[in-house]
Amino acid sequence: MYEVAVQHPAIEERRYICADLAELRTLVWGVAQAQGNPIAADDGDEMLAEVANARRRADFFDFGLLRVEQCSVRIELAEESDCDGHDSVYAALGESQYCDGTCRPGVRFKRAALHDLTAALESAEAEAAGECDGCGLEVDQRCVGCGRCNCDQHDGCVRPSVLQP
């Protein structure tokens, strides 16, 4: 089992659990796709080798690191856990009666995780460009009165209109 941290300068770190090389490869392909740059068939073998090398480094040196576009992917060894909260065996010794939840299993990088990562990256990109990701209005399409768009994320404006410079 591997714990994988995906870091991007514009979003909070995301952590996932991968069981093997196939899941690691799927995660790396997904990270590239989430950034709008899917790995081309020509580059597939090279990326597979990079993922395999990062996994080997994690096996032997505790972590492996690789770069996927603007994201860095850190791979670490992890122990498999299927706990979702349980009675603590140490309750008689004064510890809390129930598991504190720290041993809950991590998130697998499936379709929902890919959609969440893609949405977070798109939202960060829109925010950096001054756009609203809630309604898609661009920088010059704002309410004249308050300078914001008219989506449900913003209050106070009546309707968007194009600002004239």
Look up the domain containing 152 and give its range: 134-165
pLDDT in tens, 120-143: 888 888 777 766 656 656 655 665
Same domain, 116 and 147: no
State yes or no: pLDDT of 95 exceeds 70. no
CB atoms within 10 A of CB 39: 19
Same domain, 120 and 145: no
Same domain, 91 and 39: yes
| Orientation of helix 111-128 relative to helix 21-34, angle to 10° | 30
Number of domains, the chain: 2
Same domain, 50 and 90: yes
Same domain, 120 and 138: no
- The confidence score (pLDDT) of residue 159 equals 46
pLDDT in tens, 33-60: 888 888 877 777 888 899 999 999 999 9
Same domain, 13 and 84: yes
pTM value is: 0.67
Task: State which of 2-16, 36-50, 101-115 shows the largest mean pLDDT.
Answer: 2-16
The rounded distance, in Å, linking the Cα atoms of 128 and 14 is 20
State yes or no: pLDDT of 62 exceeds 80. yes
Same domain, 114 and 145: no
Same domain, 138 and 123: no
- Judge contact between 106 and 16, C-beta under 8 A: yes
| Contacts (Cβ under 8 Å, ≥6 apart) of 122 | 133
- Burial of 85: CB neighbours in 10 Å, binned 0-12, 13-18, 19+: exposed
- The confidence score (pLDDT) of residue 133 equals 59
Same domain, 51 and 68: yes
The overall longest dimension of the chain from CA atoms, in Å, is 71
More confident position, 145 or 9: 9
Same domain, 43 and 123: yes
Same domain, 154 and 117: no
Same domain, 164 and 105: no
